[in-house]
Amino acid sequence: MEKPENSICVIFGGTGDLTRRKLMPALFRVFRQGLLSPDFALVGISLDEYNRRSYKELIKKSIIKFSDSEKIDKKILGKFIDKIYYFSLNVKNSEKFSEMEQFLCGIDDSINGNKNYLYYLAVKPALYVPIIKNLGKVGLSNEKKNEGWKRIIIEKPFGSDLASAQSLNQLLQKYFDENQIYRIDHYLGKETVQNILAFRFANGIFEPLWNRNYIDHIEITGSEKNGVGIRGGYYDQAGALRDMVQNHLLQILATIAMEPPNSFEARQVRNEKVKIFQALCPIDIKNIEKRVIRGQYISSFIDGEKVFSYRDEDKVEPQSRTETYVALKTFIDNWRWSGVPFYIRTGKRLPARVNEVVINFKKTPHYLFKRIHPKDVGANKLILRIQPDEGIVIKFGMKQPGEGFNIKTVSMDFHYSDLGSEHLPEAYERLLLDAFIGDPTLFARADAVEACWEFITPIIREWERNPEIGLYGYPAGTWGPQEADNLFENQEQKWRQSCESITNNGNFCEL
């Protein structure tokens, strides 16, 4: 793999939860594998009163704590910690940005970095504007002649609707070129999401079937067992549609549905994804409840313990109408997918933490064994599991041993864990390394973000405008409101239900 040039990673929100739990442990794992440049530096930026020594100690403890059961070589960890610096900054104070520039120049001289700067905005979205403006004002966004690159990573949410997303993009593009902007969606960094592309385009046996002629419908699920936890204040302003569908799940849909790019190059791959977003059929607002179902979890007992309702969670409005569950049906208006329904669902307090895609193939045109074995075993399924127990399952019918032709559905499973010693990088590892290298393939582009919001915003506006639209309660620990089953065109069809338990033989169990 290409190794990055010497550079400085500047993390705004350097003492925050994201930095301590995800970013620093991920950077350490990348460093431990020898994938970073020999001379690089990390600068934490925050309002908190730390000096370099106390900040290094904070990060050291965080890496040890959030690296799970990994064995950490203290010598390697020490070398990584020595790369870390700290600068206290009020991001709304433009004068302090000039001081920060001098601070970075001093570090850059010591590592011969040629002023290659990667900025990571691990802060609340409300702070994006002052940070971007002040970086621009002091010239820290400019790629000057005879100097290195400048890149900026933006965490989701990329706005809260189409207008705010356009406003954010305009601000970013005022100070940065689009090729300097990396909008990060950690779902795209998951190895199994990337492997969907490899599965489709590296295997000649599947791509001929990947169209309306052979596929009946596709399900995309992103379910969580937990409630909103400490995120109640944020979540009550966002909801499941903004938090999961607009970014994560639509990105997965595009990965599943995109046309083969001319080459596996960032611009080509992202062009094909944008075409999918732009081809999404708008939801008919007049019949919104036939296309979109929203729900909110209510109090229930799970494993004998009482679980709070969403409205009883901390920092949630007592009469909140924010959806914790959403299911929708959409279509892609192009030649390949015309008439094929795509069903998307996501929710909190569901029975399992599952992220998967189910490709439901059409049934055989004539069931040959109906006289001998009247039960139709159903259609073939291809299941792409993103988490947990990452892997691929193909379901098909086989004859049971013995007399007659009794057909049984069986599974052919592949588990990423079967690769044994192969390191399965976490999402932030891959994405951070790509940003250092300058590969934007797995990052969202401005036109893609805006196209997704263009699809989602009318739904949000109709919910706000019309309080009579149903918000269905579902007991915590169930698979959401029953009304979601009504989205299917064929009443024999239903959502695939999975649990996250792994059986003794390593198979992913189904309910």
Instruction: Give pLDDT tens digits for 296-335.
Output: 999 999 888 898 999 999 999 999 999 999 999 999 999 9
H helices of 155-285, where? 162-175, 191-201, 232-240, 250-257, 266-279
* CA 327, 329, 334, 337 torsion-angle sign: positive
CATH code of domain 188-362+445-510: 3.30.360.10
- How far is Cα 159 from Cα 167, in angstroms, rounded to an integer? 8
Query: Is the pTM here over 0.75, yes or no?
Result: yes
Do 37 and 4 contact (CB within 8 A), yes or no?
A: yes
Q: Residue 322: what pLDDT?
A: 93
Segment holding 217, helix H or strand E: strand 215-223
Of 74 and 10, more confident: 10
| Same-fold call for 8-155 versus 188-362+445-510 | no
Burial class (CB in 10 A: 0-12, 13-18, 19+), 310: buried
Q: Residue 70: what pLDDT?
A: 67
Reply yes or no on whether the pLDDT at 503 is more than 70.
no
Domain limits, the chain: 8-155, 188-362+445-510
Catalytic residues: 248
pLDDT, tens digit, 9 for 90 and up, residues 449-496: 999 999 999 999 999 999 889 999 999 999 999 999 999 988 778 888
Choose among 395, 417, 424, 418: nearest CA to 407. Answer: 395
pLDDT, tens digit, 9 for 90 and up, residues 68-127: 666 788 899 999 999 999 999 999 888 899 999 999 999 999 998 889 999 999 999 999
Do 116 and 7 contact (CB within 8 A), yes or no?
A: yes
Q: Residue 497: what pLDDT?
A: 74
> Residues near 431 by Cβ (< 8 Å), separated by ≥ 6?
184, 186, 188, 189, 442, 443
Reply yes or no on whether the pLDDT at 369 is more than 70.
no
Choose among 418, 372, 422, 428: nearest CA to 397. Answer: 372
Do 435 and 182 contact (CB within 8 A), yes or no?
A: yes
Provide mean pLDDT across the span 159-183.
95
- At CA 154, angle to CA 148 and CA 158, rounded to 5? 145
Provide mean pLDDT across the span 395-422.
73
How does residue 254 score in pLDDT terms, banded at 50, 70 and 90?
very high
Q: Are strands 8-12 and 41-46 parallel, antiparallel or unpaired?
A: parallel
Of 374 and 142, more confident: 142
Q: What residue type is assigned to position 393 of the chain?
A: V
Q: Residue 213: what pLDDT?
A: 95
H helices of 204-362, where? 232-240, 250-257, 266-279, 288-291
Is 57 in a helix, a strand, or coil?
helix
- How far is Cα 374 from Cα 378, in angstroms, rounded to an integer? 12
Exposure b/e, 387-416, CB count within 10 A at least 16 = b = ebbbbbbebebeeeeeeeeebeeeeebebe
- How far is Cα 320 from Cα 257, in angstroms, rounded to an integer? 35
Q: What residue type is assigned to position 483 of the chain?
A: E
Choose among 160, 466, 457, 161: nearest CA to 280. Answer: 457
Segment holding 327, helix H or strand E: strand 325-330
In degrees rounded to 5, what are phi and psi of residue 286? Answer: -65, -30
Burial class (CB in 10 A: 0-12, 13-18, 19+), 257: buried
CATH topology of domain 8-155: Rossmann fold (3.40.50)
The position carrying tokens 């990396």 is 182
Please count the residues of the chain.
511
Choose among 281, 292, 246: nearest CA to 469. Answer: 292
- How far is Cα 49 from Cα 7, in angstroms, rounded to an integer? 25
Read off the DSSP letter of residue 489: S
Least confident of 184-188, 339-343, 505-509: 505-509
How does residue 501 score in pLDDT terms, banded at 50, 70 and 90?
very low
Do 55 and 45 contact (CB within 8 A), yes or no?
A: no
Taking each helix axis as running N to C, give the angle between helix 191-201 and helix 250-257, from 0 to 180 degrees, rounded to the nearest 10: 20
- The CA-atom distances, in angstroms, between 382 and each of 153, 250, 359, 361, 496 are 34, 19, 5, 8, 12
Q: What DSSP string runs through 421-466? A: TS----HHHHHHHHHHHT--TTSB-HHHHHHHHHHHHHHHHHHHH-
Please provide the average confidence, as pLDDT, over all residues in the chain.
88
Do 120 and 11 contact (CB within 8 A), yes or no?
A: yes
| Token digits of residue 251 | 């990105």
Q: Residue 504: what pLDDT?
A: 33
Reply yes or no on whether the pLDDT at 405 is more than 80.
no
- The CA-atom distances, in angstroms, between 101 and each of 135, 136, 382 are 9, 12, 52
Q: How many CA atoms lie within 13 A of 426 on its CB side?
A: 15
- How far is Cα 205 from Cα 331, in angstroms, rounded to an integer? 25
Reply yes or no on whether the pLDDT at 142 is more than 50.
yes
